[in-house]
A = this chain, B = another copy of it.
Amino acid sequence: MSGGVEWGLHCCVVLSGAGAPVPAAKLAELHDVSQSYLAKQLQLLSRAGLVRSSLGQAGGYVLTRSASEITVLDVIEAIDGAQPAFRCTEVRQRGPLATPAERCDTPCPIARVMAAADRAWRESLRGITIADLVADVSRTTPAEQLDRARAWLRA
């Protein structure tokens, strides 16, 4: 899985806490990552409609909807793409004992098993929202530190 997914999730968590647009440069500095590369991930989030960008001074990125309406899966699919990790190449239709295509109305058992596992994975991630992550962070970190983070974002 692309490493940018982690950055994208962290950014969404931060954006949900900030009340104003946050420029990409600030997000990059906060997480100590390459500004140019993070910009690429934010572009992907923007294309997927998860965040909205505003130009000019005091511009930056904002979530387009409530953090409770953005699932972790949304972010992953926005950055890594929505296609499943396993792609059946229809091996059974090749070689000397190839099954004719007309008999392949049902998917290959292997592909079916893989698809089921993929669904389980996605379902697990679809059940968690950015708001859940924020709640978890709020519970495990002292309030003083959260205030400091919010102040740093405004500055």
Contact = CB atoms under 8 A, between A and B. Distances in A.
Contact of A97 (B30, B86, B99, B110): B30
Interface stretch (A42-50, A62-70, A117-125): A117-125
Interface string A16-47: 00000000000001111100000000000000
A82 B118 CA distance: 17
A110 B133 contact: yes
B95 A32 contact: yes
Contacts of A92: 10
A104 to B, nearest CB: 10
A123 B121 CA distance: 10
Contacts of A29: 95-96
B113 A30 contact: no
Interface residues of A, number: 54
A26 to B, nearest CB: 10
B117 A6 contact: no
Interface of A: 1, 3, 5-7, 9-10, 13, 29-33, 72, 85-89, 91-92, 94-99, 103, 106, 109-110, 112-114, 116-118, 120-125, 128, 132-133, 136-137, 140-141, 145, 148-149, 152
Report the 4 A-B pairs with minimum CB-CB distance, sorted nearest first. A109-B136, A32-B94, A117-B124, A32-B95
